[in-house]
A and B are shown apart, each in its own frame.
Chain A
């Protein structure tokens, strides 16, 4: 059986593209393919990952210019057909700007760029991205961002809750969702959300940076594993 292809989009200014490529390649049966932002061809990918970084230097707003890259037209169509799209950090920002996910990310509450380990929980373990995470398991996955403060109007938050679209929340080491455990001021401690159809996920923490023993945590692997399990089944 040939390997399943997973596309990693490279915008000018992406800087976690190779980490993501490395993480994908560490799973037997899955082959990463790098997709340049100016291309239109998804090269047969069965899932697309928008990696972290500073696409277009974060000019204007994080993700705002990348959203209009030629490849994004294809990614939006791909998502519309129900294929999985994962946005990590800057990738999450691009997904919000493109309208594939609802809400926005503004500056961190305490003004600082945060680069540190966080603890999160997959509060919805029934998505194709989190099926292997027990909902009470505390995951150690790092963040690295200046604009990760999730915001959405009240009606959007209500709708996200109603449809179980809040997937990851920042927690303390015991898994409790508290104000102290919220690193950036995100509403409801939101670290990641999924679209209504369940095939587009965006999150601020970096699972690819927690996917190898040498990196200090393996907790991010479950996300890729869940997704790849899904891809192998369809």
Chain B
């Protein structure tokens, strides 16, 4: 049975997130005084036709490093879910 790899890509803290900043300003303009900050990332779902969890995890990590994120300025997190 295949797995769904749920990958979140976020900008490293040291990188200025201009989109997040714009959203943060908009939220404050809407009157949400307790909003502290906002950061924007990407959420990617990849279906991997692989029955072994370990192998699906290996592929998920490899594609995250190789293509889905740029390690110079981004971090990623990976979660795997078995599709029943």
Contacts and interface: CB of A to CB of B under 8 A. Distances in A.
A226 interface: no
B30 interface: no
A185 B16 CA distance: 10
B1 interface: no
B22 A151 contact: no
Nearest to B68: A60
Contacts of B77: none
Contact of B18 (A60, A64, A107): A107
B54 interface: no
A68 B72 contact: no
A152 B73 CA distance: 8
A152 B17 CA distance: 15
A61 B68 CA distance: 9
Interface residues of B, number: 14
A117 interface: no
A151 B67 contact: no
A182 to B, nearest CB: 13
Contacts of B18: 107-111
Interface residues of A, number: 20
A104 B73 contact: yes
Contacts of B11: 106
A108 B11 CA distance: 14
Given A111-B18, A185-B16, A151 B73 contact: yes
Contacts of B67: 60, 64-65, 68
A64 B11 CA distance: 15
Contacts of A61: 70
A103 interface: yes
B35 interface: no
A17 interface: no
B68 A106 contact: no
B83 interface: no
Interface of A: 60-61, 64-65, 68, 96-97, 103-104, 106-111, 149, 151-153, 185
23 contacts: A61-B70, A64-B67, A64-B70, A68-B67, A96-B72, A97-B70, A104-B70, A104-B72, A106-B11, A106-B15, A106-B16, A107-B16, A108-B18, A109-B16, A110-B18, A111-B18, A111-B22, A149-B16, A151-B15, A151-B72, A152-B72, A153-B72, A185-B16
